[in-house]
Amino acid sequence: MSDQEELKQHFAQRVIHQAREVLEVWQQLQRGEWNDNYRNALADATLRLRRFAERFGQTEHSELALGIEDCLGDIEDNRGRLSSTSIATLSQLVYRLARTGLRHSDTQSQAVYVPPLSKPVYIALQDHQRAEHVVRQLEFFSMTAQAFASDAAFRAAMHERHPAAIVMDVDFNGPGEGLKLAERIQQSLDEKLPLIFFSHADTDTPTRLAAVRAGGLEFFTGSLDASSLLEKIEIFTRTAHYEPFRVLIVDDSRAQATHTERVLNNAGIITQTLIEPIQTIAALAEFQPDLIILDMYMPVCMGTELAKVIRQHERYVSVPIIYLSAEDDLDKQLDAMNEGGDDFLTKPIKPSHLIATVRTRAARARSLKARIVRDSLTGLYNHTHSLQLLEDASFRARRDGQPLSFAMIDIDHFKKVNDTYGHPMGDRVIKSLALFLKQRLRKTDHIGRYGGEEFAVVLPDTRAEDACKVLDEIRRRFAEIRYPAKQEDLTCTFSCGITELTADSDIKLLTQQADEALYRAKHGGRNRVERFQPVT
């Protein structure tokens, strides 16, 4: 690399680290409420980002910073109050800031990825070879990690430098000793560190309880999948982008609905209000809320009746419904709970009580949904949900007049991998590609395991030619990965077919076109990306 290129990347990293400060300030809203101190912190961080970006010629970061500053100005004009529109706008800008540069073909665009954690992750496992493997996997995906073979080495490292997070085997340095070590470490710290426990064997409830008491935020058993571990570390260290909760409010009283909306907006929660209950199902499809708040008594229909209608749609069976009503008769409240509701809150309610209930319910619903719609091996969306996301993205693309691309990926000669190296190696290759795609695509892109060794990718706001460039770069990088094997290291490649949404496209046609392009890639020699071309 030339001196000029090194200097350019150095400047880009300066901008990136300032962008990280903006992201971290934004993340704080999920744990508190909007106030002047928060607004000032976000404004100061954004101003520094813009100045750095302008100084070092990072146009995209500069434009995003200006967008955030404009949004903060609108909030100031609104007497300092957040609204659903301002939250959504800020969220979108921060979303783009978190994954800037991934659509550029210029190789220097790699310099504008959100940087890895400034501190390493400490890995302390009973099996040191396994720990070293985890370290290599994390470092391959730009996360610095360090493995330790003994209690003394771990303590010495802690004395020198605190990590971003700790992954601790419950039996590190002896049966149950990891739990004790972690507890002692946490007790000595003023600010607790994110702590993830691991056990090679299944554990009993007392062990998990001890892990919770020691400050454990997550518990893995059996194996440590780098993809899942990476995702948890990013969440616990607040480097993953936080997407605000979305709440649909259905209340025939505009005054009450406005009050509820303001309380939730003040906590950084996006809301949509309906005064006409009959519009609820259409709004659910468009807004995709994490939670629904229903008034109990409305002139068009009862809240309990509307809850039954909502529950008739399979897609919304698991969306939490909270009744918010002046009804204080306990028997009637319990009856309402039996009619599709998950909670009952009585008006008037303290804002803090409402916010806490909504956040707790919405967070649990998101966690449950993630388990239902994701593939167990890779953590990617499953086949059914991938098609649902494609349908939703197609609707939004048509509505907003934006492009949309859809890609299908298939690992080359995968049967030979399983037959020659065994199914565990095949699973390892599948998980590696899944992690590769998650790391190198935007958070706004939807990645699914379509079936077996086949993957599907929905790329909103992306033309086919840009999708081809991005996925071709991923294809080249994926082919460089070497998987250690007994006789010789294994390398794998994939083929990819891409199509773009048109005026007459539906879901069936998009998947058919992407599959045809994939077929051409396979029969054209494999290890290539093909774009669908209609027969003329």
**What's the CATH code of the domain at 13?**
1.20.120
Choose one of 372, 398, 429: the last residue of a domain: 372
Same domain, yes or no: 454 and 491: yes
Residue 90 maps to a domain: yes
The pLDDT of residue 77: 87
- Rounded to whole angstroms, the Cα distance separating 33 from 31 reads 7
DSSP-assigned letters across all residues of 164-185: SEEEEETTTTSTTHHHHHHHHH
Is residue 116 in some structural domain? no
Whether 414 maps to a domain, the answer reads: yes
pLDDT band, very low/low/confident/very high, at 166 (cuts 50, 70, 90)? very high
C-alpha to C-alpha distance for 138 and 117, rounded to whole angstroms: 11
Q: What dihedral do alpha carbons 468, 471, 477, 482 form, nearest 10°?
A: -130
Look up the CATH number of the domain holding residue 250: 3.40.50.2300
Tokens of 502: 């048109």
- Stronger pLDDT, 113 or 386, i.e. the higher one: 386
Domain shared by 87 and 126, yes or no: no
CA distance 405 to 444: 13
| Digit-coded pLDDT (tens) for 454-474 | 999 999 999 999 999 999 999
Task: Answer for the pair 39, 268: CB distance below 8 angstroms, yes or no.
Answer: no
Q: Tell me what pLDDT residue 197 has.
A: 95
Same domain, 218 and 179: yes
Q: Write the CATH number for 507.
A: 3.30.70.270
Which of 136-140, 289-293, 324-328, 340-344 has the least mean pLDDT?
136-140
Residue 165 lies inside a defined structural domain of this protein: yes
Report how far residue 54's alpha carbon sits from residue 326's, in angstroms, rounded to the nearest whole number.
54
Q: Looking at the structure, do residues 156 and 42 belong to the same domain, yes or no?
A: no
pLDDT tops 70 at residue 234: yes
Do 230 and 270 belong to one domain? no
Q: Is 11 in the same domain as 63?
A: yes
For 141, 357, 516, 536, the CA distances from 520, given in Å and listed in that order, are: 31, 52, 6, 16
Q: Domain range spanning residue 455?
A: 383-531
Q: In terms of residues, how long is the chain?
A: 536
Q: Specify whether 281 is located in the same domain as 333.
A: yes
Q: Tell me how many domains the chain contains.
A: 4
For residue 7, pLDDT beyond 60: no
Per-residue confidence (pLDDT) for residue 141, from 0 to 100: 65
Q: Is residue 185 part of a domain?
A: yes
pLDDT of 105 reads: 33
pLDDT tens for 79-98 read 888 888 888 888 878 877 76
Domain boundary among 209, 236, 263: 236
d(CA 200, CA 185): 22
pLDDT at res. 106:
35
The pLDDT confidence band at residue 475, using thresholds 50, 70 and 90, is: very high
Q: Which of the pair, 432 or 405, is modelled with greater confidence?
A: 405
Q: Say whether both 393 and 511 belong to one domain.
A: yes
C-alpha R_g of the chain: 25
SS3 14: helix
Q: What's the CA gap between 285 and 307, in Å, rounded? A: 15
DSSP SS3 for 113: coil
Q: Are residues 391 and 523 in the same domain?
A: yes
pLDDT at 38: 83
Q: d(Cα 60, Cα 406) in Å, to the nearest integer?
A: 25
Same domain, 368 and 398: no
pLDDT at 100: 60
Q: Are residues 167 and 229 in the same domain?
A: yes
Per-residue pLDDT at 513 exceeds 70: yes
Asked if residue 241 belongs to a domain, the reply is no
Same domain (yes/no): 396, 500: yes
Last residue of a domain, one of 50, 79, 111: 111
In a domain, 377, yes or no: no
Q: Which two tokens stand for residue 363?
A: 């967070």
Report yes or no on 378 lying in a domain: no
